[in-house]
Structure 1
Amino acid sequence: MSNKQVEQYNNDGYVCPIRALTPEEAENFRNRMDALEASEPDLWSRSKIKPHLMMTWFNELIRHPKILDAVEDVLGPDILAWATGHFDKKPRDPGFVSWHQDATYWGLSEPSVVTAWVALTPSRHENGCMRVIPGTHTTGQLPHKDTVNQHNLLSRGQDVEVQVDEARAVDLELQPGEISLHHTMLIHGSEPNHSDTRRLGITIRYVAAHVRQTSGFKDSATLVRGIDRYGHFLTEPQPTQDFDPPVVAFYNDIVGEIRSRKEAIAAQAKSAGS
């Protein structure tokens, strides 16, 4: 990134847009995803958490050098890909993301974490692009409440418990192959897709190698650049094929641990509220 972009990230908590993939590369990743979806109808239910372990195209994407070049300007030279996600809004999709901070339930030791949002289709205001509230990454961790709405794309429907000035919101509009970066504490969300155009984005959560999991459960990550001098996370295997059996076994172990931890946290929150 340019010095101006790095300054913007530090001041506002985000940078957008950054050209990382060529349009042809973005189309290739999207086509490989679509082909796998066609052959695996339950693709995303099978690989909702850490899908980069299950699909070769996704594992290639987290290692893309142009994405890592931008992330390095924020996190430094030693980078782990810790978590990934898939946000696909079909035309007229009512799905939305409530205002929230990413780090709320992650249990990481510090906010040396950045999310790369990779556009595989155009992401515009009319089809529900991500929106951010600039500068809110400096407020620290804010309280959130869990909500229930079938159209909320967040697993817990978390909603920040502060008054959000939506007049300050900025749309992070992207073309295929462009990315945005945002800080783990930045308040952000998105609205439904009111258009006839699909909005498909991939999220990659990168952490500096010194960050660790504090929630008391087993966690894993993939070293994608530099050196891991700390070993805070289990080393993730790299799939040689989609749903590579040894990697699937590793995935099931790790995801089972994560789900158990989430259930425990949810039970604690319910008990505290009763």
Structure 2
Amino acid sequence: SKVLEDHFLTIFECDMASQSNNYADLVGQYKRDGFVIIRNVLDTNLIHECQQHIEHLQRKYPDVPSEHYHHIIMRNDPFWIRLVSDERLLNLATVFGSPFIQEKEGVAIFSSHYFCKPPKTGMAVLWHQDGSYWPLRPMNVLTMWLAIDDSDTENGCLRVIRGSHTNELAQLKDDVSVVNVLGSYTHRDEDIDQSKIVDVVLKPGDISIHHPNIIHGSEANTSNRRRCGLTIRYISPTTQCLDPKQPVMMMRGSPIDGINKYRSWPKYRSGYDLPFDGCETWNERRKIVDEDEEYFQRTDYDVMENEIKTDLFEFISRLGGKKAAN
């Protein structure tokens, strides 16, 4: 395993607070190696709200393992939309997602997932390629991994195989012989060139960006500290999501007719949703989005809540977990 050391970081990292960012070099490294790290993307106040959001989800869905706080339970959550629509993230999506994500076409999101490993019992993620799981056509997608907690070798940080994004997508294989988050893999340890493993060590507010074909995973969390990160999957409006149960949401720009249906941004409901900075004016912002985008799919909230419960039950059952909603 190779931990990112200072001389290595000068190649792969960029500090958002710096005025001398050279994205051209970083984009070149991303294309060559399949991933890149950017430091200090989000401020401490927003990261604190993310940590509060996780606690909110724990209270709301007590039977859902914290490794599985994913799109199903967050698509009706205004703070989640506020987070993934942050201009700092969208700007990076257009830089590193080029040429398939372009400013003139806009940015959409089809999936997001908190990988929140609790202390001592946090599950491993077996070696896999994200694109093997996703119902996208074409496979034009950019993943950001946002660190909510410190993420290091002791608590099960993300590990990538440098340069493996040039591989074709491999077949998914089920595996529950070892406890793991996904219940599946695309590559075994014996398939991996150990000299190319990089441990992606991050601080809260840092992000890593990686390619859908890159082989990656993480070890179990055996430390006394939680390790939580949020994955965000950005696509262009020209990319089609083939799963009707996986709603696409427009983050910037306008939808393109005939490709996807888009779900409207959720309303903020005082006393029910997590309060956050700007929540007082959120519904005004949301209405502007709905009025501007005639293609947004409006869904009754009671229907959405029942749909969430049904999807959660199916998802957790497939993983051998407990029933998520009674």
- TM-score, normalised relative to structure 1: 0.83
Q: Which amino acid aligns with 1:38?
A: R
For residue 95 of structure 1, report the CA deviation from its aligned partner.
0.6
Aligned-residue offset at 1:116: 1.0
Task: Quote the residue 1:165 is aligned against.
Answer: 193
Which deviates further from its counterpart, 133-142 or 181-190? Answer: 133-142
The aligned residue for residue 45 of structure 2 is: 24
Which residue in the other structure is 1:61 paired with? 83
190-199 vs 246-255, which moves further = 246-255
* Alignment pair present for 1:50 and 2:72: yes
2:34 aligned partner = 13
Name the counterpart of 2:300.
246
For 2:304 and 2:49, locate their aligned partners in 1 and report how far apart those are by CA, in whole Å.
27
Q: Please, which runs of 5 or more residues in structure 2 have no aligned partner?
A: 1-20, 275-298, 318-326
**How far apart are 1:200 and its partner, in Å?**
0.8
Structure 1 pair 18/101, CA: closer, same or farther in 2 (3 Å)?
Answer: same
Quote the Cα distance in structure 2 between the aligned partners of 1:94 and 1:35. Answer: 19
CA deviation string 1:217-240 (max 9, x = no partner): 554201101222244222112122
Residues 238/89 of structure 1: CA separation in 2 closer, same or farther (3 Å cut) = same
SS at match of 1:127: coil
The yes-or-no answer on 1:76 pairing with 2:97 is no
Distance 1:90 1:258 in 2: 20
Alpha-carbon contact 1:52-1:62 (below 8 Å) kept: no
Residue 20 of structure 1: how far off its partner (Å): 1.8
AA at the equivalent of 2:72: K
The whole-number CA distance in structure 1 between the counterparts of 2:215 and 2:191 is: 11
Within the candidate set 231, 248, 264, 1:221 is matched to 248
CA distance in 1, matches of 2:221, 2:311: 34
Q: Which residue of 2 aligns with 1:268?
A: none
Cα distance change, pair 221–98 in 1 and its aligned pair in 2 (3 A): same
Instruction: Flag the 1:247–1:6 CA change in 2: closer, same or farther, 3 A.
Output: farther
**Aligned pair in 2 of structure 1 residues 96, 250: CA closer, same or farther (>3 Å)?**
same
The aligned residue for residue 37 of structure 1 is: 58
C-alpha contact 2:113 2:230 (8 A) present in aligned 1: yes
Unaligned runs of 5+ in 1: 264-274
Aligned-residue offset at 1:150:
5.8
1:13-37 per-residue CA deviation (whole Å, 9 max, x = no partner) reads 1111343211221012212331442
The one-letter amino acid of 1:10's match is K
Aligned mates of 2:313, 2:137 — CA distance in 1: 19
d(CA) in 2 for partners of 1:218, 1:35 = 24
Query: What is the letter of the counterpart of residue 71 of structure 1?
Result: A
State the Cα deviation string for residues 133-170 of structure 1 (Å, max 9, x = none): 1111111212331111462111x422326711133111
Q: 1:22 to 1:15 in 2, by over 3 A?
A: same
| Offset at residue 98 of structure 1 (A) | 0.3
Q: Is the 8 A contact 1:117 1:203 kept in 2?
A: yes
1:137 counterpart SS class: helix
**CA RMSD between the two structures:** 3.1
What corresponds to 2:11 in structure 1?
none
- Matches of 2:261 and 2:304 in 1, distance apart? 10
Once the two structures are TM-superposed, the CA of residue 12 in structure 1 deviates from its matched residue by 1.0
**Deviates further, 101-110 or 229-238:** 229-238
- 3-state secondary structure, aligned to 1:220: coil
| Offset at residue 62 of structure 1 (A) | 1.1
Report the equivalent of 2:162.
Answer: 134
Query: How far apart, CA to CA, are the structure 2 residues paired with 1:42 and 1:190?
Result: 23
Q: Provide the residue aligned with 1:180 in structure 2.
A: 208
Larger Rg over CA atoms: 2
Q: Report how far residue 251 of structure 1 moved.
A: 6.4
Q: Percent of aligned pairs with the same residue?
A: 29
Do the aligned residues in 2 keep the contact of 1:219 with 1:258 (CA within 8 Å)? no
| Contact 2:148 2:230 survives alignment (8 Å) | yes
Q: Which residue of 2 aligns with 1:110?
A: 138
Superposed CA deviations along residues 197-228 of structure 1, whole A, max 9, x for unmatched, are 2111111111111111346x554201101222
Q: Displacement, 1:53? A: 1.3
Q: In structure 2, which of residues 246, 249, 262 is the aligned counterpart of residue 235 of structure 1?
A: 262
